[in-house]
Amino acid sequence: MSLVKLNGKRFPWNERLIDFFNRDAFVDDDFFNLEKTHPSMNVKEHKDDFEIEFAAPGFEKKDFKITIKDDVLEVSAQKEREETEEEENFTRKEFNYNAFTRTLQLPASVDRSKEVKAVYKNGILTLKVLKMEEAKEEQKKVIEVV
Protein backbone atom coordinates (compact mmCIF):
# COMPACT_ATOMS: atom_id res chain seq x y z
CA MET A 1 0.00 0.00 0.00
CA SER A 2 1.33 3.45 -0.87
CA LEU A 3 0.47 6.84 0.49
CA VAL A 4 -0.93 9.45 -1.87
CA LYS A 5 -1.08 13.12 -0.96
CA LEU A 6 -4.65 14.40 -1.11
CA ASN A 7 -5.11 17.43 -3.31
CA GLY A 8 -7.03 20.09 -1.36
CA LYS A 9 -8.84 21.15 -4.56
CA ARG A 10 -10.46 17.74 -4.89
CA PHE A 11 -13.26 18.65 -2.50
CA PRO A 12 -13.49 22.47 -2.72
CA TRP A 13 -16.62 22.75 -0.57
CA ASN A 14 -14.79 21.07 2.30
CA GLU A 15 -11.82 23.45 1.99
CA ARG A 16 -14.09 26.53 2.02
CA LEU A 17 -15.95 25.25 5.08
CA ILE A 18 -12.69 24.71 6.98
CA ASP A 19 -11.43 28.14 5.90
CA PHE A 20 -14.63 29.77 7.16
CA PHE A 21 -14.08 28.48 10.67
CA ASN A 22 -10.30 29.14 10.74
CA ARG A 23 -10.29 32.83 9.79
CA ASP A 24 -12.46 35.78 8.95
CA ALA A 25 -14.12 34.63 5.73
CA PHE A 26 -15.30 38.11 4.76
CA VAL A 27 -11.93 39.85 4.92
CA ASP A 28 -10.15 36.90 3.31
CA ASP A 29 -12.56 36.85 0.38
CA ASP A 30 -11.12 36.92 -3.16
CA PHE A 31 -12.33 40.53 -3.53
CA PHE A 32 -9.78 41.66 -0.94
CA ASN A 33 -6.91 39.52 -2.23
CA LEU A 34 -4.39 42.09 -3.50
CA GLU A 35 -2.15 39.52 -5.16
CA LYS A 36 -4.71 39.09 -7.92
CA THR A 37 -4.52 42.77 -8.85
CA HIS A 38 -0.84 42.57 -9.79
CA PRO A 39 -0.09 41.63 -13.38
CA SER A 40 2.29 38.79 -14.10
CA MET A 41 5.82 39.95 -14.81
CA ASN A 42 8.86 38.56 -16.66
CA VAL A 43 12.38 39.98 -16.35
CA LYS A 44 14.98 39.02 -18.95
CA GLU A 45 18.62 40.05 -18.86
CA HIS A 46 20.33 40.57 -22.21
CA LYS A 47 23.88 41.70 -22.98
CA ASP A 48 22.86 45.37 -23.50
CA ASP A 49 19.67 45.73 -21.46
CA PHE A 50 17.03 44.35 -19.15
CA GLU A 51 13.66 43.55 -20.68
CA ILE A 52 10.66 43.67 -18.33
CA GLU A 53 7.26 42.44 -19.49
CA PHE A 54 3.91 42.95 -17.76
CA ALA A 55 0.75 41.06 -18.73
CA ALA A 56 -1.77 43.92 -18.56
CA PRO A 57 -4.65 43.30 -20.98
CA GLY A 58 -7.57 45.70 -21.17
CA PHE A 59 -5.55 48.88 -20.76
CA GLU A 60 -4.59 51.54 -23.29
CA LYS A 61 -1.22 53.27 -23.69
CA LYS A 62 -2.53 56.42 -22.01
CA ASP A 63 -3.51 54.46 -18.87
CA PHE A 64 0.10 53.68 -17.87
CA LYS A 65 2.37 55.78 -15.67
CA ILE A 66 6.04 54.74 -15.54
CA THR A 67 8.52 56.53 -13.25
CA ILE A 68 12.04 56.07 -11.90
CA LYS A 69 13.01 57.65 -8.60
CA ASP A 70 15.85 56.70 -6.22
CA ASP A 71 16.73 53.56 -8.22
CA VAL A 72 13.14 52.30 -8.06
CA LEU A 73 11.12 51.67 -11.21
CA GLU A 74 7.38 52.08 -10.64
CA VAL A 75 4.81 50.94 -13.18
CA SER A 76 1.18 51.72 -12.58
CA ALA A 77 -2.01 51.78 -14.61
CA GLN A 78 -5.53 52.94 -13.95
CA LYS A 79 -8.64 52.60 -16.07
CA GLU A 80 -12.19 53.67 -15.30
CA ARG A 81 -15.23 52.97 -17.44
CA GLU A 82 -18.81 54.04 -16.84
CA GLU A 83 -21.78 53.23 -19.04
CA THR A 84 -25.33 54.51 -18.60
CA GLU A 85 -28.37 53.42 -20.56
CA GLU A 86 -31.69 55.15 -20.01
CA GLU A 87 -34.97 53.95 -21.44
CA GLU A 88 -38.61 54.67 -20.74
CA ASN A 89 -39.07 52.43 -17.69
CA PHE A 90 -35.57 51.88 -16.36
CA THR A 91 -32.01 53.15 -16.06
CA ARG A 92 -29.03 50.81 -16.25
CA LYS A 93 -25.68 52.02 -15.02
CA GLU A 94 -22.48 49.95 -15.08
CA PHE A 95 -18.99 50.92 -14.04
CA ASN A 96 -15.62 49.22 -13.99
CA TYR A 97 -12.40 50.22 -12.26
CA ASN A 98 -9.08 48.48 -12.78
CA ALA A 99 -5.70 49.55 -11.38
CA PHE A 100 -2.31 48.18 -10.35
CA THR A 101 1.10 49.34 -9.17
CA ARG A 102 4.35 47.35 -9.33
CA THR A 103 7.75 48.55 -8.10
CA LEU A 104 11.18 47.13 -8.87
CA GLN A 105 14.58 47.94 -7.39
CA LEU A 106 16.94 48.66 -10.29
CA PRO A 107 20.36 46.98 -10.20
CA ALA A 108 23.57 49.03 -10.11
CA SER A 109 24.36 48.06 -13.71
CA VAL A 110 21.43 50.09 -15.12
CA ASP A 111 22.35 53.29 -16.99
CA ARG A 112 20.08 55.88 -15.39
CA SER A 113 21.10 58.57 -17.89
CA LYS A 114 19.40 56.66 -20.76
CA GLU A 115 15.68 56.65 -21.40
CA VAL A 116 13.55 53.62 -20.63
CA LYS A 117 11.75 52.42 -23.75
CA ALA A 118 8.15 51.32 -23.26
CA VAL A 119 5.94 49.53 -25.79
CA TYR A 120 2.37 48.31 -25.22
CA LYS A 121 1.12 45.76 -27.72
CA ASN A 122 -1.47 42.97 -27.54
CA GLY A 123 -1.95 43.36 -23.77
CA ILE A 124 1.78 43.17 -22.96
CA LEU A 125 3.71 46.18 -21.66
CA THR A 126 7.42 45.77 -22.48
CA LEU A 127 10.10 47.98 -20.92
CA LYS A 128 13.74 48.04 -22.01
CA VAL A 129 16.18 49.43 -19.46
CA LEU A 130 19.70 49.91 -20.85
CA LYS A 131 22.86 48.80 -19.04
CA MET A 132 26.00 50.90 -18.50
CA GLU A 133 28.90 50.25 -20.88
CA GLU A 134 31.02 48.74 -18.07
CA ALA A 135 28.28 46.25 -17.26
CA LYS A 136 28.02 45.16 -20.90
CA GLU A 137 31.71 44.25 -20.97
CA GLU A 138 31.73 42.25 -17.72
CA GLN A 139 32.14 38.55 -18.24
CA LYS A 140 30.13 36.15 -16.14
CA LYS A 141 32.21 34.05 -13.82
CA VAL A 142 31.64 30.34 -14.32
CA ILE A 143 31.67 28.31 -11.13
CA GLU A 144 32.60 24.67 -11.39
CA VAL A 145 30.59 22.18 -9.40
CA VAL A 146 32.76 19.50 -7.75
Residue ranges in 63-132 assigned as alpha helix (H): none
The model's pTM: 0.63
Domain annotation covers residue 17: no
Distances in Å between the Cα of 14 and the Cα atoms of 28, 86, 110, 119 are: 17, 44, 50, 45
The pLDDT value given to residue 123? 93
Residue ranges in the chain assigned as alpha helix (H): 12-22, 133-137
Domain annotation covers residue 18: no
Domain annotation covers residue 56: yes
Domain annotation covers residue 82: yes
Query: 10-residue block means of pLDDT along the chain (146 residues)?
Result: 50 51 49 62 91 93 92 91 81 83 89 90 94 75 86
The pLDDT value given to residue 76? 93
Domain annotation covers residue 58: yes
CATH number of the domain that 75 lies in? 2.60.40.790
The parent domain of residue 125 ranges over 37-137
The pLDDT value given to residue 70? 86
Domain annotation covers residue 9: no
Domain annotation covers residue 27: no
The pLDDT value given to residue 26? 47
Structural domains in the chain (count): 1
The pLDDT value given to residue 66? 94
Domain annotation covers residue 129: yes
